[in-house]
Amino acid sequence: MITRGILVAAILCLPILGCSEPEATQTETPTETPNLAVDQNVASTPSGEEHGEWLLHGLSPGEQRFSPLDQISTSTIDRVGLAFEFNDFVVRGNTHRGAEATPLMDDGVLYFTGPWDVVYAIDARSGKEIWVFDPEVDGARARVTCCDVVNRGLAMQDDTLFVATTDGYLIALSKKSGDVVWKTDTFIERDSPHTITGAPRLAGDVIVIGNGGAEMGVRGYVSAFDLETGALVWRFFTVPGPGPDETVDITLARKTWSENMPWDHGGGGTVWDSMVYDEATDTIYVGVGNGGPWPAWKRGDAEIHDNLYLSSIVALDAETGLARWHYQTTPGDSWDYTATQHMILADIDWNGEPRQVIMQAPKNGFFYVLDRNSGELLSAEPFVPVSWASHVDMETGRPVLTENADYSEQTRLITPGPGGGHNWPPMAFSPLTGLVYIPTLEFSSKFTTVDDGEGYQPKNRNTKALSTIATSKNAELAKGLPPIVQNSHIVGWDPNTGKPKWKSPAQPLGSGGVLATAGKLVFAGSADGFLNVFQADTGKLVRAIDVGTAMIAAPISYELDGTQYIAVQAGAGGVGLRAFVGGSAPLKYVNSERLLVFRLDGTDVPKPPPVEKPAENEIPTGLPTDAETLALGEKKFNRYCVRCHLPRNIPSGYPNLWNMAPATDENFDDIVLNGAYAYAGMAGFGDVLTPEDALAMRAYIVEDRRRVQKGAKPGETEAH
């Protein structure tokens, strides 16, 4: 049913890379007076800033997400209210997906995407719908998405919009009508478990897009297509394959992998989010993801190799797609420490000299400042608690690992967890304060190497590692480590000193993306349903607007008729759809997709309907109860289902199988094996599950429901 409304690496300084040795030391500038002189015009691509528009994903060509608008300021923020709300999103089935896109605004029209890659054009003054384009994405592709069927936004060039779809197509649309101009397949193999959730980026005469799927057994790459025709111009593979090598860059990378690497595992290295283009040098910087499988000691042999270009920032020639330099943030990554997080270009004063830099706060917990022309490491300091490395050696550029980093032989408690110290929600940079505003995560995870004995399985998770968010019950593992925390903060980070200038109070796990403005304000949503507004220089919370819906997307600002607007998408999704954390908005209000737009002297924000406890369905009878069947059912459930459907009534955005409706139970085989609900994202698993497996899973669920009825709690288990 469709409804609407409801290496850190040593820099390899070879001639081909054109990079230089990192400096050994640097002098800090006092935090109170940051010596940052920023040139906003990193490149000359029109961004609409001077006209109050938002034409590029990160507004400025350097993706600084700093709006020069100042009507909404520290002195007027108390007057901000709702201008309008758009909530007529396409919803497949009964599952509301995450709303993660950055809208664009041009000539009075807001353009944005929702779940299932649907594109919307609405009046930026009133919210009235102008047109909608539904690419009719293959719903079964949801099976191989890491983290929900989401889309992070569009690219725009003149009269054309560009959207990438979950099932691998890059589509050019007419801005005026939403009609298709061209459509191209970005996947090298249509049957591969690649997916796309990121926003494409303009880079000179090409449009660039990467993909996801590292855990599913794919080989990562990023592709560039002609803006006018959609024809492939170049493709950069981020890791080697079975061979032969496509480019000299892959030949270089292969030297850093085991000769015994099982290439059917893909290797990973997907470019699933951040990219940024420097027009002055015609360079597109891409952030590369984690390896597949996760542990480096499972990628060929017990020896740890660097495995380029995993967890790296790579500078590519936008005309040829060849590497100019690379910097690996986490050599031999084994912790899902992607470097796909938001990257910012800025021209700053560094130790008294002008410097063109690229800045990133990737998952591994260190904030990096690099010379963007050479890749030279200038600074690498922890911005959250870190236990896997003691520091980054500034002479080699490599992290110095602690004993705690190695979970090859025993379970370890490691900080950050696989969600990272900073995930995909974008940062912002203000030239007024010289600060980078980071939505951080602080939590620890237990890491364990696992082998289920079933070997590699295409289209299924093949991490060879298990990670569990640490709780107080795991405290015995925390001896000698930072305290176990599960917090989220907005941090005002001084890149010149490598230290925070300020840090917001803790929020429920999961801050949203950030917007900084000339009104000396910083905007960021959070999982508890508040749009928080901070004073940019001090971090003082000056306003918390309760909207009743979790926000993980980044806000934007635009101006029309002399009025400044703030727009942000709301709706929990991604990894957060699997379990709603304590204190989060979806525990109180129905989680649905929304676009909220604010202005001075607006109205109060209406809350979504409150969450109502569903009626308890009867527990089916007549299923097997023998230990062997129940053990098989639990094993198969944990292998294929638990990625979305958590047990024992744990609050989640996915259907609760511990309160299965009679119709679902009756049609269980048709749904699970044959994909009867594939259009809504529940693909069939008949290629890896048998009718006997499906029966065993039903039996396990039913038997465990009886245990819950008798008082078993979430997290408790019973051996079979």
Specify the CATH number for the domain of residue 250: 2.140.10.10
pLDDT, position 713: 61
CB 271 within 8 A of CB 222: yes
Would you call 323 helix, strand, or coil by DSSP?
A: strand
The residue from 600, 616, 640 where one domain ends is 600
Residue 266 lies in a domain: yes
What is the C-alpha to C-alpha distance for residues 164 and 171, in angstroms, rounded to an integer? 6
Q: Are residues 514 and 641 in the same domain?
A: no
**716: pLDDT strictly greater than 80:** no
The residue from 584, 600, 616 where one domain ends is 600
Residue 574 lies in a domain: yes
Q: Are residues 592 and 669 in the same domain?
A: no
pLDDT digits (tens, 9 = 90+) for 117-164: 999 999 999 999 999 999 999 999 999 998 899 999 999 999 999 999
Q: Is the peptide bond before 416 cis (omega within 30 degrees of 0)?
A: yes
pLDDT, position 41: 45
pLDDT digits (tens, 9 = 90+) for 313-367: 999 999 999 999 999 999 999 999 999 999 999 999 999 999 999 999 999 999 9
What is the percentage of the chain residues whose pLDDT exceeds 70? 89
pLDDT, position 579: 86
Q: Are residues 647 and 594 in the same domain?
A: no
Q: Are residues 159 and 25 in the same domain?
A: yes
Q: Which band of pLDDT confidence, cut at 50, 70 and 90, is reported for residue 264?
A: confident
Query: Beta strand 66-67 with 511-517: parallel, antiparallel or unpaired?
Result: parallel
How is residue 344 annotated by DSSP?
Answer: E
**175: pLDDT strictly greater than 80:** yes
Residue 125 lies in a domain: yes
pLDDT, position 13: 32
pLDDT, position 74: 97
Q: Are residues 253 and 402 in the same domain?
A: yes
pLDDT, position 469: 72
What is the C-alpha to C-alpha distance for residues 623 and 233, in angstroms, rounded to an integer? 57
Would you call 667 helix, strand, or coil by DSSP?
A: coil
Q: Are residues 535 and 677 in the same domain?
A: no
Q: Are residues 637 and 593 in the same domain?
A: no
pLDDT, position 5: 39
**Could you tell me the residue range of the domain that residue 348 belongs to?**
7-600
CB 59 within 8 A of CB 49: yes
CB 234 within 8 A of CB 320: yes
pLDDT, position 453: 67
Q: What is the mean pLDDT of residues 569-589?
A: 90
Specify the CATH number for the domain of residue 667: 1.10.760.10
pLDDT, position 646: 87
- Catalytically annotated residues: 336
Q: Are residues 563 and 696 in the same domain?
A: no
CB 206 within 8 A of CB 224: yes
pLDDT, position 51: 78
C-alpha torsion angle, residues 467, 654, 511, 425 (rounded to 10): 80
Residue 36 lies in a domain: yes
What is the C-alpha to C-alpha distance for residues 488 and 485, in angstroms, rounded to an integer? 9
Residue 64 lies in a domain: yes
Q: Are residues 362 and 325 in the same domain?
A: yes
Q: Are residues 492 and 637 in the same domain?
A: no
For residue 501, give both structure tokens: 């200038």
Q: Are residues 553 and 694 in the same domain?
A: no
Cα 459–chain centre separation: 20
Residue 715 lies in a domain: no
Residue 322 lies in a domain: yes
Q: Count the domains in the chain.
A: 2
Residue 619 lies in a domain: no
Sheet holding 435-443, edge to edge: 428-430, 435-443, 486-494, 499-503
pLDDT, position 507: 82
pLDDT digits (tens, 9 = 90+) for 382-428: 999 999 999 999 999 999 999 999 999 999 999 999 999 999 999 99
pLDDT, position 643: 87
Q: Are residues 655 and 578 in the same domain?
A: no
Between 638 and 222, where is the model more confident? Answer: 222
pLDDT, position 576: 84
